[in-house]
Amino acid sequence: MKNFKRYLVTSALPYANGPVHLGHVAGVYLPSDIYVRYLRLQDKDVVWVCGSDEHGVPITLKARKEGVSPKQIVDRYHKIIKDAFEEFGISFDIYSRTSSAEHYKTAQEFFKTLEQKKEFIIKTSKQFYDPEADMFLADRYLQGTCPHCEHEGAYGDQCEACGSSLSTTELKNPKSVLTGSTPELRETKHWYLPLDKHQEFLEKWILQDHKEWKPTVSGQCKSWFEKGLQARAVSRDLNWGVPLPVDNADGKVMYVWFDAPIGYISATKELTPDWEKYWKSEDTKLVHFIGKDNIVFHCIIFPAMLKAEGSYTLPDNVPANQFLNLEGDKISTSRNWAVWLHEYLQEFKNKQDELRYAVAAGLPEARDNDFKWKDYQDRVNNELVAIFGNFVNRSLVLCKKYYGGEIPQANIGNDEKEILNSIKETGKLIGEHIENFKFREALKAMMEVARIGNKYLADSEPWKLIKTDPEKVKTILNTAIQITASLSIYCEPFLPFTAEKIRKILNITHKKWDMAGDANLIPAGHSIGEVSLLFEKVEDEVIQAQLDKLMKTKEDNSSDEKLELEPAKDKIDFDDFLKPDLRVVTILKAEKVAKTKKLLKLEVDTGLDIRTVVSGIAEHYSPEEIIGKKVCMVINLAEKKIRGIASSGMVLMANDSQGKLSFISPQDDLHAGSVIS
């Protein structure tokens, strides 16, 4: 492994149109906090930057909906997000924002450099324009039908039903979200970053030179490379964003995904005049912590930008996490299905470490994971209270009781040497796991130290020995206190508030990682302070209250659902009704369509023939569970190619306003080919 002199760590900039929830915490902020706190304990030269991402269309749409300015929206959420991070112990060196003057300057200089180096292509093309609103309709200002899966609510930049990334002109039946009118095409000029030009370099850099990256990350990159990278527009016709610093570009701003990652650079500049040392030296290790939805931007687009600029180093690793679900359901801001960090901090005062522990134990490192309140309770009660808290408390209480809190002299024997040695070894293991971004394993190893301590006390039974061999008890409790002090070091990346509590009780200053496991971490004769419990048990009522809150959200959502039903369609003639040939069909085979999230390829028996249809249901049904099912289908629909597969027909699905899909099936067991009328 390369020997790096310093670290530059970035965490994905949270988008300032809403507060931060547990999914964000588990995906990005907790793992990066563990990583950086560990590096600091190792005395490494490390800088950790983050800030609010304050541009882009969703913010302007939210502002319009609420009748306020985009600035008011970002000011509100920047404060909520920043305060919540601080209280939760997310220890950025700086939490900035992309509306800062420094950021505008930095992003514009960056853009100018690329412009001067002729790294952009400038193209005039036809884009949708809403004459009523008098503006071009970028990204989410446009909704229409997806050209790939026929989903009707696709956005100008993405179809959420099939996951395809779109450009606005690809949408069928486009409508302006501002006025609902059909937009017209007008010519406009835009700046494009030709990613294809950098493909060869990026491919080698990721797939050959960085084989240590998570397979989930390099796998996604690989599929982008296979599709072939294309030029990507980096400007927009909008009035909210960083204005393009070039002539003849009035009314144009940078695409939010162009300026946002430059925010890492601006934040570093705000933090230190030495910023170039971190961004422009070969011996800096740059690590981007992100969620899986940002992989393309951090592994392909931003590195292409940095490389095109020419003076920056590229990331050494991008340890993206998968998603965290909540109680078996996808976290969703619009459905309010989330545990909001600022709400947790209000409802669970001074219980930051309990949440940090429960989330760290279930980080979605290799696959999506689920947060359950019952697991939270179990983790706190059975691990933090019963193992960690129990060991520390017993050691401290006995030291108070027998020696008035003055650490006794030890006469270290082989047992103690062995135990302290195993603690040092475990510390190395924790460090290795953290350096390899395996935070769940690291947390387990940290708890192992508490387990070693617990076992040592249980085996040596100082409370019995005090009557028969008081000299030995001195050694035992001295050792137990050394282990407690070691724990305060090893737990700090994960449980910083607990580490601080232990230091206060032990009456010691902050120590470094390598000192843990020393026999003289705290010298004999040192006096400890007041003893108090580290953790409290979580009662059933507390968990029930959280589950009730979520249940209420579910109920609110389903009552909203009634309100949001689609309006009735226009009347049709009976003859029109007879046109679709609707039949009961049997699903014979089902498999996922490669490289798609939503599509299943089905082989169905229509009674008349066996045929193939592609259906966008993969997120609602697994292939295994639907084989043999009798469902309804339109069998006389013109054949259509979907992802290269000829699909003849459409399986009917009921679609609720939350986007949940459900098959329509006959009540009784009818044979395939039965006519529906």
Which range binds Zn ion by CB under 5 A, 45-53, 159-167, 216-224, 268-276? 159-167
CB atoms within 10 A of CB 250: 8
Nearest distance, CB of residue 627 and Zn ion, angstroms: 25
The C-alpha atoms of residue 433 and residue 445 are separated, in whole angstroms, by 9
Grouping H, G, I as helix, E, B as strand and the rest as coil, residue 264 is helix
Nearest distance, CB of residue 174 and Zn ion, angstroms: 14
Which range binds Zn ion by CB under 5 A, 36-44, 160-168, 367-375, 629-637? 160-168
**HSE, side-chain direction, 13 A CA sphere, residue 248:** 6
Q: What secondary structure letter does DSSP report for 642?
A: E
Helix, strand, coil % (nearest 5) of the chain? 45, 20, 35
- Measured from the CB atom, the residue of 143 and 479 that comes closer to Zn ion is 143
Q: Name the pairing type of β-strands 369-371 and 324-326.
A: parallel
Ramachandran quadrant class, 362 (left: phi over 0; alpha: psi -120 to 50; beta: rest): alpha
Which range binds Zn ion by CB under 5 A, 144-152, 336-344, 487-495, 601-609? 144-152
The neighbouring-strand residues paired with 325 are 330, 370
Candidates 181, 55, 165, 164; CA nearest to 128 is 181
For the chain, the first-to-last Cα distance in angstroms comes to 68
Q: Name the pairing type of β-strands 284-289 and 6-11.
A: parallel
The C-alpha atoms of residue 166 and residue 348 are separated, in whole angstroms, by 42
Nearest distance, CB of residue 660 and Zn ion, angstroms: 17
Pick from 97, 151, 379, 438: which binds Zn ion (CB under 5 A)? 151
The C-alpha atoms of residue 402 and residue 477 are separated, in whole angstroms, by 10
- Measured from the CB atom, the residue of 34 and 642 that comes closer to Zn ion is 642
Candidates 149, 181, 147, 185; CA nearest to 166 is 147
1 Cα distance to chain centroid: 27
Grouping H, G, I as helix, E, B as strand and the rest as coil, residue 386 is helix
The C-alpha atoms of residue 345 and residue 20 are separated, in whole angstroms, by 12
Nearest distance, CB of residue 663 and Zn ion, angstroms: 20
How many residues make contact with Zn ion (CB under 5 A)? 7
Which range binds Zn ion by CB under 5 A, 156-164, 238-246, 510-518, 532-540? 156-164
Pick from 30, 161, 233, 244: which binds Zn ion (CB under 5 A)? 161
Q: Examine residue 593 and tell whether it contacts Zn ion (CB under 5 A).
A: no
Pick from 13, 159, 299, 543: which binds Zn ion (CB under 5 A)? 159
489 Cα distance to chain centroid: 27
Which range binds Zn ion by CB under 5 A, 147-155, 172-180, 232-240, 372-380? 147-155
Nearest distance, CB of residue 166 and Zn ion, angstroms: 8
- Measured from the CB atom, the residue of 157 and 492 that comes closer to Zn ion is 157
Which range binds Zn ion by CB under 5 A, 114-122, 142-150, 301-309, 507-515? 142-150
Asked if 97 and 103 touch (Cβ cutoff 8 Å), the reply is yes
The C-alpha atoms of residue 636 and residue 126 are separated, in whole angstroms, by 36
Q: What secondary structure letter does DSSP report for 26?
A: I
Q: What secondary structure letter does DSSP report for 514?
A: G
- Measured from the CB atom, the residue of 160 and 347 that comes closer to Zn ion is 160
Nearest distance, CB of residue 157 and Zn ion, angstroms: 12
- Measured from the CB atom, the residue of 442 and 599 that comes closer to Zn ion is 599
Q: Examine residue 146 and tell whether it contacts Zn ion (CB under 5 A).
A: yes
Pick from 90, 162, 450, 534: which binds Zn ion (CB under 5 A)? 162
- Measured from the CB atom, the residue of 166 and 326 that comes closer to Zn ion is 166
Q: Examine residue 149 and tell whether it contacts Zn ion (CB under 5 A).
A: yes
Which range binds Zn ion by CB under 5 A, 151-159, 262-270, 576-584, 653-661? 151-159
State the DSSP H helix or E strand holding residue 632, giving kind and residue range, or none if neither. strand 630-634
- Measured from the CB atom, the residue of 146 and 254 that comes closer to Zn ion is 146
Nearest distance, CB of residue 4 and Zn ion, angstroms: 43
Which range binds Zn ion by CB under 5 A, 153-161, 186-194, 428-436, 464-472? 153-161
Nearest distance, CB of residue 164 and Zn ion, angstroms: 5
Nearest distance, CB of residue 192 and Zn ion, angstroms: 24
Q: Examine residue 148 and tell whether it contacts Zn ion (CB under 5 A).
A: yes
- Which residue ranges make up the site for Zn ion (CB under 5 A)? 146, 148-149, 151, 159, 161-162
